[in-house]
């Protein structure tokens, strides 16, 4: 069942898809419901980012990162905000 018909910890938007186990080769399987909900298909590339708090990692579809980078390149205010946050120590 996908997120539209699922009930769980968050009724409006499913956020928990179960538990995965890391194999001896360091591999995990992405749950089928999550792949379906996010449109992840065989051959898709995922960018792997380590969380700042060292609690885990985040997977982002590479084509979505391409979209984000395009927006960032056009948004001059974004870089000004980043500089300001760095000056404030955040």
61-87 confidence digits (pLDDT tens): 998 888 888 887 888 788 788 888 888
Nearest to 66 by CA among 52, 85, 45, 50: 45
Same domain flag for 27 and 61: no
In the chain, the number of structural domains is 2
Domain that holds residue 65: 45-88
29-55 confidence digits (pLDDT tens): 999 999 999 999 999 999 999 999 999
Same domain flag for 27 and 53: no
Same domain flag for 50 and 32: no
Same domain flag for 5 and 36: yes
Backbone φ and ψ for 85, nearest 5 degrees, come out as: -65, -40
Confidence of residue 1 (pLDDT cuts 50, 70, 90): very low
Same domain flag for 27 and 50: no
Same domain flag for 32 and 4: yes
């Amino acid at each position: 069942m996908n997120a539209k018909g699922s009930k769980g910890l968050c009724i409006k938007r499913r956020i928990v898809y179960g538990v995965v186990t890391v194999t001896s080769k360091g591999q995990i399987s992405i749950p089928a419901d999550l792949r379906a909900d996010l449109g992840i298909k065989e051959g898709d590339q995922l960018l792997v980012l380590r969380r700042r708090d060292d609690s885990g990692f985040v997977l982002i579809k590479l084509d979505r990162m391409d979209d984000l980078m395009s927006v960032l390149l056009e948004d001059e205010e974004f870089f000004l905000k980043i500089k300001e946050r760095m000056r404030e120590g955040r």
